[in-house]
Amino acid sequence: MAISPVIHSVVGEICIRVPQFYHRQPVLSRLISRYGLTVNITAAFLDADTKKDGWFNLEIQGKEEDVNAAIEYLQTLTIEVEDIKLTYIKGKGSKLKLVHGNVNQERLSQALEDEITAIERKTNRAKFHVCIPQSYRSSPIIAGLVTCCGLTVNILGALLEKSSENDGWFDLEVWGRPQEIISGLRYLKEQGLQIWL
């Protein structure tokens, strides 16, 4: 009788410094789509109008080999990976849970519906600003846009303070088919998040 290999998952915390020339690249989105990781941003600072590096504190979860490959990928991009703290979980343990939206068309405001209609007609890319309340610090919202909605997400600007009572925000640029963009906006709205297009 063959013994099945035990799949180890890894939950970790890393801090990455993103050089200015990568500010327009969907680096975090690639960690999710290429390596199958769940990524939650716990703190961040990225100013689109500066030449300074941005930084993100991340919680990551995935198979051991995928987490290692993702960290190696970041390092090949000359993105500094600091403060790596990884915990190995035997079996299928899970810490980070994606919030799956159950989109209810009736709950969307008319203003969002009008904006969605404009997106349906014209684009495969959208930019918007989303507020991240304190209560959503442990929810991998960006990972949900990638995994649940099929979008590629680039963070153009971010402010999410460590251990703060203040809300944070992200300026996002998303790529996908119009229906995926609409699904992403509905996903965020279903979570009760404020969005400005």
The answer to whether residue 117 scores a pLDDT higher than 80 is no
The CATH number covering residue 71 comes to 3.30.70.260
- Domains of the chain: total: 2
Let me know whether 125 and 184 are in one domain. yes
Cα separation, 49 vs 56, whole angstroms = 17
Domain boundary (90, 125, 152) is at 90
Q: Are residues 111 and 185 in the same domain?
A: yes
Span 133-167, pLDDT tens digits: 988 888 899 999 999 999 999 999 999 998 778 89
- Tell me the residue ranges of DSSP E strands in the chain: 8-18, 38-46, 54-63, 80-90, 125-132, 152-160, 168-175, 195-196
Average pLDDT for 102-131: 61
Query: For the chain, what is the radius of gyration of the CA atoms?
Result: 17
Tell me whether residue 173 is in a domain: yes
Clarify whether residues 138 and 168 are in a common domain.
yes
The pLDDT value given to residue 96: 59
- 185 and 138: one domain? yes
d(CA 188, CA 164): 22
What band does 22 get if pLDDT is binned at 50, 70 and 90?
A: confident
Domain hosting 34: range is 8-90
The closest alpha carbon to 56, from 23, 97, 89, 33, belongs to 23
